[in-house]
Amino acid sequence: MTSKIKIMIVDDDETIVETLTYNLTRNNFTVYSFNNGALALQKFTEVIPDLVILDWMLPDMKGPDICALLREQNADLPVLMLTGRSTPQDIAFGLSKGADDYLVKPFSMVELLARLEALIRRSLKDKARSHKGRIELGSLILDEDARRVSFNGKNIELSPREFSLLKVLMQNVGRALSTEALLDRVWGSDFDGDVKTVAVHVRWLRQKLEADPKNPTLLETVHRSGYRLNMPEAVAKEN
């Protein structure tokens, strides 16, 4: 079962919508687009998006007003505002209505994708910090008090070191952590064993979490950087 990040686009410019849809789909997002605010608000609870890309000027409503109404339904929803307005007053007004970020047209797709990833990463980290002793990243849940981990509704049995390693990775979701940093935070600065122990424990985690441990999608090796826990749209291991 694969769960992708869902993005809602609210914009009446067909060219922008087509360009965004093409590029976001290529980057493994699920996209829903609406050309007016009323329809987007009506479909919001049906789609339940993880993030909204919202145009400032729409035929029926203004983007900041739509943003405020979306905030009433989901206070934590990341919203990226697109607009041709670039004055400090306009930016301040859009942010005051609940937008998390602001991108002025014309914009590059590289910058937009980078901003989306930052917003999603921040949102997941906020959710992870929302429960004391409990980290929730989609269907991947770590309960520190109970020393329990579940993924896609299934309990995952981990050793104490595997548990600690996963905890550190979940606390830094989307961020590459070096082998040295992981060794220090999980094994301690006075550890004098083989640094390869990190790779061994990562392999064991993959065997328990990945659909295909030889081709990991959740726990990724970052060339010359270390390891990164990706967004939890990765495939859970079917037991």
CATH number at residue 195: 1.10.10.10
Provide the pLDDT confidence category of residue 19 given band limits of 50, 70 and 90.
very high
User: Rounded mean pLDDT of the chain?
Assistant: 84
Does one domain contain both 144 and 102? Answer: no
Does one domain contain both 192 and 176? Answer: yes
Residue 15 lies in a domain: yes
In this model, does residue 120 exceed pLDDT 60? Answer: yes
Does one domain contain both 139 and 196? Answer: yes
Domain boundary among the residues 103, 128, 153 is at: 128
Instruction: Give the pLDDT score at 35.
Output: 93
Does one domain contain both 122 and 151? Answer: no
Provide the pLDDT confidence category of residue 162 given band limits of 50, 70 and 90.
very high
Instruction: Give the pLDDT score at 167.
Output: 92
Instruction: Give the pLDDT score at 132.
Output: 62
Residue 19 lies in a domain: yes
Residue 235 lies in a domain: no
Residue 234 lies in a domain: no
What are the tens digits of pLDDT across the range 127-147? 655 556 788 887 889 998 888
Residue that wins the pLDDT comparison between 92 and 15: 15
Instruction: Give the pLDDT score at 239.
Output: 29
Q: From CA 198, how far away is CA 186, in angstroms rounded?
A: 9
Can you state the angle between helices 37-47 and 63-73, rounded to 10 degrees?
Answer: 20
> Is there a contact between 71 and 78 (Cβ–Cβ < 8 Å)?
no
Residue 97 CB: number of other CB atoms within 10 A? 20
What are the tens digits of pLDDT across the range 42-65? 998 888 888 999 998 888 988 888
| Residue 93: CATH number of its domain | 3.40.50.2300
Q: Which of 125, 135, 215, 133 is CA-nearest to residue 173?
A: 125
Q: From CA 220, how far away is CA 230, in angstroms rounded?
A: 7
Q: How many domains does the chain have?
A: 2
Residue 65 lies in a domain: yes
Provide the pLDDT confidence category of residue 203 given band limits of 50, 70 and 90.
very high
Q: From CA 209, how far away is CA 56, in angstroms rounded?
A: 41
Q: Which range of residues forms the domain containing residue 122?
A: 6-128
37-51, 100-114, 150-164, 180-194: lowest mean pLDDT where? 180-194
Helices (H), the chain: 14-26, 37-47, 63-73, 88-96, 109-128, 160-171, 179-182, 196-209
Residue that wins the pLDDT comparison between 146 and 207: 207
In this model, does residue 236 exceed pLDDT 50? Answer: no
Domain boundary among the residues 102, 128, 154 is at: 128
Residue 61 lies in a domain: yes
Instruction: Give the pLDDT score at 137.
Output: 83
Provide the pLDDT confidence category of residue 7 given band limits of 50, 70 and 90.
very high
Mean pLDDT, rounded, for 225-235: 69
For 208, list phi and psi in degrees, rounded to 5.
Answer: -95, -20
Does one domain contain both 110 and 155? Answer: no
Residue that wins the pLDDT comparison between 231 and 102: 102
20-34, 72-86, 207-221: lowest mean pLDDT where? 72-86
Provide the pLDDT confidence category of residue 76 given band limits of 50, 70 and 90.
confident
Q: Which of 80, 146, 157 is CA-nearest to residue 111?
A: 80
Does one domain contain both 80 and 138? Answer: no
